[in-house]
Structure 1
Amino acid sequence: MNKKLIFFDIDGTLLDEQSGSVPASTIEAIEKAQKNGHLCFINTGRPISTIDKIITDLPFDGYVCGCGTYIEYQQKILFHTELDFELRKKVIQSIDQYQVDAMLEGKSGVYFSQHLKHPFIQAIKKKYQDLHFQVHSFSSHEDVPFDKLTVWYQPDTPIEAFKKALENDFLIIQRDIDFLEIVPLPYSKATGIQYLIDHLGYTLKDTISMGDSLNDLPMLTYTHESVAMGNSHPLLLDQVTYITTPVNQDGIQHALEHFHLI
């Protein structure tokens, strides 16, 4: 059996967002894949600073975080890129000018806009505080370290003008009708995969990825084999080589069995 690099998204892929837990079948399947010699990685849009303990307690071989801006293998940081001062300043000024609610995401913590209006980002901030992550606020006059960002906005927000201000420097992913994920060019979940392929001496044919949302498209369309969870965004379904059952219906186990990895 050829040894594979297997990349997993977190939310909606490993983590059942209804229960907030990782199904027992998922844990068992990943452990079986590793016993068979395959390497298993997290590949997420989240920064390393906001990975739940329920995930870090699992014996993953490494992490690709922040859509390729941070890469770790066997608890050693292989790569990390942070926005430079001028780009950080441009982003923070744009957030203030166009009045979006933002979360700036970095290796050491996350920074929220001071006066949040959108209920979803308010809920995220509370959740992260409850989990004792490093949570801070920022003002338009501060310089804080971050790698990427997510923003939420209102119906009357001039969001097209905000996107135009950043489009030359960032990949802007429309995650929902009022939610953007913003990643510095040229990084993505796919560039993180290629970094590990090169570092570990594998080939693209040795890769499989599993995800459920639009920010997973770069990795799902990059790896040799790809899996959409049964609970995936509909736009993913014709972009993958296999559609498994939902996360809470043993989706990861079925996918690993389908590819004869367990």
Structure 2
Amino acid sequence: MSAWLPAAPCTPAACVEPARTGSGVPRAVLRLTAVTVLLLAGTAVALSPLRGRTPDALVRRWCRWVVRATGVRVRVTGAAAPGGGLLLVAPHVSWLDVPLLAAVRPARMLAKSEIRRWPVAGPLAARGGVLFIERDRLRALPDTVARVAGALREGAAVAAFPEGSTWCGRAHGAFRRAVFQAALDAGVPVQPVRIRYRTRERTLSTAPAFVGEDTLLASLWRVVSARGLTAEVEVCPAVPPGLHPARRSLAGAAQQAAAGAWTGRGGHHRKAHSKSMCPL
């Protein structure tokens, strides 16, 4: 696997906790229904003339509602700057990471170009300002960096998962450096965000992970079937522009802040095993 298409060794069989029947099928179905209603409501707003006038506070609240509707409690500590160009970066475990980052601050997401061709989701993503990346074309990298830098200069927040692939949550990958070049070029701060999923017993949970050959439906069912899950979102102090003049050191500082101590109770770092969202 090339550096342009990074992958993690995580697989559902090796790393992910199986779905449990703790909440029961009726409760899981009710949660799925609630998520569907919220997504339909959000889609209606995205397609309406109100899209550009929706307050950020309402967007953040809606994102938290989506996660909460799955049965996952949300705990956010810290806050991001409410305005101005900002690069949000976080390790990548789950599809839940996307609304959780938007709950910190609504941002333009980086996503693989294949999503643009998905029915319904593709047009909606494009309309929502997603920055698409052609992962199989290394020559497209400078243009992608320039587009991200342009968005940052215009005062937008851009959210990225610089590992380039999802991990199970008990291990994590290295942050790729290219997206940090965009922050350097635009002269904007980098906001590391630490996301962890924990059980009721406060140990790290892999139930929300979306890895390997996992399907979105299987991952979604694991989440809505689980009980006592909490998403802990810690907004780390922003790295101001100019503190790290090279993208390597900037990426390293952001990774150190966002990764934190990725261990469970009594656990240690271990190689784990991905669905690629952002190869930068």
Higher strand share: 1
Higher helix share: 2
* Common topology (TM > 0.5): no
| TM-score under structure 2 length normalisation | 0.29
Structure with higher RCO (Cα < 8 A, 6+ apart):
2
| TM-score under structure 1 length normalisation | 0.30
